[in-house]
Amino acid sequence: MNSVLQKKSYDAISRQDWPVAEQNLRRLCKGTKAQASDFYNLAKVLEQVGKFGQIPIWLRRAIQHNPNYVAALYELGRWEVNYGNALVAYSWLKKAYTLAPSDSDISELFVSVACKTGHWETAEQILVRTQPNPKNIANLFRVQCELRKLTLTEQLTFINENAGPEMLRTMTKVSCGVLPFRID
């Protein structure tokens, strides 16, 4: 019975028939042999049909079945960022990052939440290990400014070497009303 429901669910998902997928997954999740992936998939289908309030229930069930289910940990962190609490998001994303430090989506969201919640040291530790790109470089600049690690001269050098839209957005966040450069 489970394998038939799983097949029907996955077929409905592939057709993007969200109501049928939801119905089949709900039936599947009521069974005693439901797997973590079934709960996770139901949460993702609920996202597609706009039932956002129900999503964390099913993600938590997926995590209860498999505490190291990285995708569910990430999605629960993402849900908390959008609809819940940033500090709760931080704890879910921290666990996801611990299990999958090379996942760029997890790293990017974790850095964002770490900055939002004032976990500057954590954000710095992640950023020094990530691929340098304009967003990561700008975030590293912000974190190092927040940690008071850069002198004004170092800030100017950092800005000049990494000028661009991301750096300009970041500079305005850390400038405290005084931008450390001259426009000639």
**Given this model, what pLDDT does residue 68 score?**
98
Burial label, 7 (beta-carbon count in 10 A; 0-12, 13-18, 19+): exposed
At 152 the pLDDT is 86
Which pLDDT score is estimated for 172? 77
pLDDT of residue 181: 53
| The pLDDT of residue 176 | 56
Class of residue 176 by CB neighbours under 10 A (exposed 0-12, middle 13-18, buried 19+): exposed
Let me know if 42 is exposed, middle or buried by CB neighbors in 10 A (0-12, 13-18, 19+). buried
- Residues of the chain whose pLDDT is less than 70? 1, 175-184
Identify the pLDDT of residue 97.
98
H or E element at residue 93: helix 86-99
- Residue 52 DSSP symbol: G
pLDDT of residue 175: 61
